[in-house]
Amino acid sequence: MELIAKYHVETDLPIQKAAEAIAAEQSTGTWTAVRGQNNPLAARVILAEGNNVEIGFPEELFEPGNIPQYLSVVAGNLFGLGDLKKVRLQDIIFPEGLLRAHRGPGFGIEDARKILGVYGRPLVGTIVKPKVGLDPAGTAAVAAAAVRGGLDLVKDDETLTDQSFCPLIPRLEAVMAALDKVETQTGKKAFYAVNVTAGADKILERALQAVDRGANMVMIDVLTAGFSALEDLSRHVKVPVHVHRTMHGAFTRDKGHGIAMLVISKLVRMTGGTNLHTGSYLGKMARETLENDLSRDALRGDWHGYKRVFPVASGGVYPAKVQGNLDGYGIDCIIQAGGGVHGHPDGTTAGARAMVQATDAWLKQIPLKEYAKDHKELETALKFWGS
């Protein structure tokens, strides 16, 4: 069996030569001839056509369960090869032997829905804004106001961890107490994704402490902390894991070079995320529709028995952008707005209600402007931000 890596390659070399260079560099080769060129662990060129290259790597090249080592093979020195102008890792097809080394999510879409008691609709979430600068009490007040407006999830910003102005445990305790109060008053349950991102020596301990203090979801910045950190959290922390993709643009933005979001999506599902930011169909960080489609399907399709993962649409989302994102992602997604909630002229609770109303309009297939006639928060949002 072998792992198959698919690349987009731009080069002045004949594409077959470029493919052979990648196969050699990432398996048994070097810049000059050495003995043992018939090594059984040499990678092979499966396809070299146009700008498309597929390389087959023998399964024995990989240490099962070691994601960093996988990436050193399929996304290693090849990016620095001088004869290649650009290289983009588009996809990885994993052999069953490697997939068996990973458990996938401990909590998937169905588990998250069961915890909240929410079925048959997308989840609607927000990020606390301002993104940094609030103390624990201020953070809790914003979170409570959002959930009072009907939101299902409140998350920390990716840059907020355990800084002195808003320490993690006091923040967590304040937010959970506020959400418990809202639930007692309204019956509304919500997740709070507290950001436990830290170094390898601290992240699991931090997450376990958070859960011990009442966290019902933890969050990790997966590309800065690492896929192995995510996998450690998923295996040992008994709550869902929200996965942020901060820094992804360094890999995904150039369509000719880097690593595609599809690869990141597959690795997150293998290593245990419950939710993953995948991009918006409409919004300030919107990218190509195909990229979103591929990530969506990788997270939710049948794959090795892994639980399904929520794609998250976020970044410049507000009520008028809801329909376009839900047309792309469907019911099993999280539609998330930061400024699109807290920037509402009537405040956070009204902004949350407007997002929920926009989602309801999509579910009922009622045009947004028509639905807004009987829903004042949505009407105000459409007038303020446009429709």
Q: Amino acid letter at 290?
A: L
Cα–Cα distance for residue pair 161/106, rounded to 1 Å:
23
Cα–Cα distance for residue pair 288/43, rounded to 1 Å:
32
354 in Cβ contact with 337 (< 8 Å): no
Is beta strand 217-221 parallel, antiparallel or unpaired with respect to 44-49?
Answer: unpaired
Sign of the C-alpha dihedral computed for residues 115, 120, 122 and 126 taken in this order: negative
Catalytic residue among 6, 102, 129, 321: 129
Cα–Cα distance for residue pair 23/6, rounded to 1 Å:
11
Catalytic annotation present for 277: no
Ranges of beta strands (E only) in 59-198 are 84-93, 123-127, 153-155, 191-195
Catalytic residue among 244, 248, 307, 375: 244
Cα–Cα distance for residue pair 387/375, rounded to 1 Å:
14
Cα–Cα distance for residue pair 351/11, rounded to 1 Å:
50
Cα–Cα distance for residue pair 287/321, rounded to 1 Å:
14
Number of H helices, E strands in the chain: 17, 13
Ranges of beta strands (E only) in 170-316 are 191-195, 217-221, 241-244, 258-259, 275-277, 310-313
What does DSSP assign to residue 100? T
Residue 103 burial (10 A CB sphere; 0-12, 13-18, 19+) = middle
90 in Cβ contact with 261 (< 8 Å): no
Catalytic annotation present for 244: yes
Cα–Cα distance for residue pair 249/128, rounded to 1 Å:
22
Ranges of beta strands (E only) in 317-380 are 334-337
Residue 364 burial (10 A CB sphere; 0-12, 13-18, 19+) = exposed
What is residue 217's three-state secondary structure? strand
Q: Who contacts 283 (Cβ-Cβ below 8 Å, separation ≥6)?
A: 313, 314, 315, 316, 317, 321, 325
Query: Could you tell me which residues are beta bridge partners of residue 259?
Result: 89
The residues that are catalytic are: 129, 244
